[in-house]
Amino acid sequence: MAVIAYKCPKINTTVVDINKEKINLWNSKDLNLLPVYEPGLRNIISKVRNINLFFSTNIKEAIEEADMIFISVNTPTKSKGFGAGYASDLKWVESSARTVAEHAKGHTIVIEKSTIPVRTAELIQKILEESNFSYSGDNKRSFAVLSNPEFLAEGSAIRDLENPDRVLIGGNDNKAMKKLSKVYENWIPKEKILLTNLWSSELSKLSANAFLAQRISSINSIASLCEKTGANIMEVSRAVGLDKRIGEDFLKSGPGFGGSCFQKDILNLVYICRFYNLNEVADYWEEVVKLNNWQRRRISTLVVQTLYGTVTAKKVSILGFSFKANTNDTRESASLYIVRDLLENGAIVSIHDPKVSMDQIQMALGAEPKQQNDDTDYGWFYEDDIYESVRYSDAIIILTEWDEYRNLDWIKCFNLMRKPSWVFDTRDVANPFEVRNAGINYWGLGQGNENFKN
Ligand code: UGA
């Protein structure tokens, strides 16, 4: 909405939420307090907030006044009931549709922005249409439902929104589709705006994420083979990606994909396939998630094994807790799983991240940090100085590719660490030569050639 407000000065946008605290943060004078860290966002907010972008908890008024409403609520994987572990929980989408049904006036275009299972638009449509039967106010209400999935990636959200590969608008109401297209045409060339039917639009979103995640699992699977054979994953990835038919993006091996979308969307796809009895197709996509789980576990196992079979009472420094660089989002981050494994194995884990706070880590791990006077020899604590975090550590594990970790002073690290000291680089950001030269043992993901030197 910030980008729409910025690009379309004539459109008034209001972001509403039932969470008052969040809205207060979005309204805070100090832009450092915005609840989401995203490069470029602060700058845009400072230009449009309270001009044509408003944050409010007055949901009724915003709905009454709106010509278009984007439903942008979360759709997490269901944790219980039918489809638990696979299907998306649509309770927030449904309650949003009901709130729109309660307050809307005149003609309202309702747009699914949240990633949702195929045919969710039907549910929204039904709720909206049938609401008129019990509606007591102005009876000349009407609705159009569109699907307009979002393809931005966190960390590059503003860039992706300003210059998207495509904008997808799905629906069966041409007038409404044209109206939404006009909004985007304020800054996006018309040929990049695709109009499709509702179900194609919904399925394209799930498919795009499934394809992207599949590439990561593919390259991670090859990384493990590199380690066994002496090949180098960066060389293999470059050689493979230079084939124009394959392309070079999303071929970077790592500790496993995280974020709020890939796993959830694939599981959703798997659920839909099973629902339609397409079990082979479901198995095919599920394997992408299974390989990702394996990748995370493979790394924690490897760390424990390399540290002579045990991490009990050993100090391990985790560099990076967000699921990728340039975001403070920790949802489904590989770090989360790897830290949990290490804690279960009795390690003392020191965590550093340039943008993730201690409170966020505590919430994500569901465990309190170790207190200073706590003399138990396991648990985690937060450290905001990289070198302090490394002090007395047996091992450093680089889990997020933050720039801060690219040029560390390895000699300083060596002097601070307990010996024998180890670096496990799951993002291949450190220079193996420099690490080793400083006297630290080195393991790099997919770097068979380097790993064999130990
Ligand atoms: C992803 C998609 O890239 C977006 O197109 C989509 O709109 C979004 O999900 C969504 O559905 O909301 P996002 O999860 O923000 O975006 O981040 P990505 O850049 O896709 O990264 C996801 C994970 O894959 C990260 O953990 C990242 O480190 C990992 N990754 C990515 C790799 O391990 N290797 C790569 O080559 C690329």
Alpha carbon 92 to its chain centroid, in Å, reads: 19
Is the pTM for the entire model greater than 0.75? yes
Q: What is the pLDDT of residues 189-229, one digit of tens each?
A: 999 999 999 999 999 999 999 999 999 999 999 999 999 99
Q: Tell me how far apart the alpha carbons of residues 425 and 401 are, in angstroms, rounded to a whole number.
A: 10
In the chain, DSSP finds a helix count (H) and a strand count (E) of 18, 13
Q: What is the pLDDT of residues 57-108, one digit of tens each?
A: 999 999 999 999 999 998 888 899 998 998 888 999 999 999 999 999 999 9
Helix (H, G, I), strand (E, B) or coil at 326: coil
Q: What is the pLDDT of residues 406-428, one digit of tens each?
A: 999 999 999 999 999 999 999 99
Token couple for 194: 């695709």
Q: Given this model, what pLDDT does residue 448 score?
A: 92
pLDDT band with cut points at 50, 70 and 90 for residue 22? very high
Could you tell me if 183 and 407 are in contact, meaning their C-beta atoms sit under 8 angstroms apart?
A: no
Question: Exactly one of 8, 226, 261, 273 is catalytic; which is it?
Answer: 261
Query: CA 278 → CA 81, 94, 265, 281, 285, distances in Å?
Result: 21, 27, 17, 5, 11
Which distant-in-sequence residues (6+ apart) come within 8 Å of 438 by Cβ?
A: 410, 411, 413, 414
Q: What is the pLDDT of residues 282-307, one digit of tens each?
A: 999 999 999 999 999 999 999 999 99
Pocket test for ligand 1, best of 240, 257, 260, 353 (most atoms within 8 A of CB): 257
Judge whether 150 counts as a catalytic residue: yes
User: Percent of the chain, pLDDT > 90?
Assistant: 88
Short-list 156, 56, 70, 60, CA closest to 109: 70
pLDDT band with cut points at 50, 70 and 90 for residue 453? low
Which residue CA neighbors atom 8 of ligand 1 most closely? 153
Which residue CA neighbors atom 10 of ligand 1 most closely? 261
Pocket test for ligand 1, best of 115, 150, 154, 336 (most atoms within 8 A of CB): 154
Q: Given this model, what pLDDT does residue 147 score?
A: 95
pLDDT band with cut points at 50, 70 and 90 for residue 327? very high
**Is 402 a pocket residue for ligand 1 (Cβ < 6 Å)?**
no
Q: Tell me how far apart the alpha carbons of residues 53 and 63 are, in angstroms, rounded to a whole number.
A: 15
Judge whether 205 counts as a catalytic residue: yes
The single residue listed with the structure tokens 């109401």 is 173
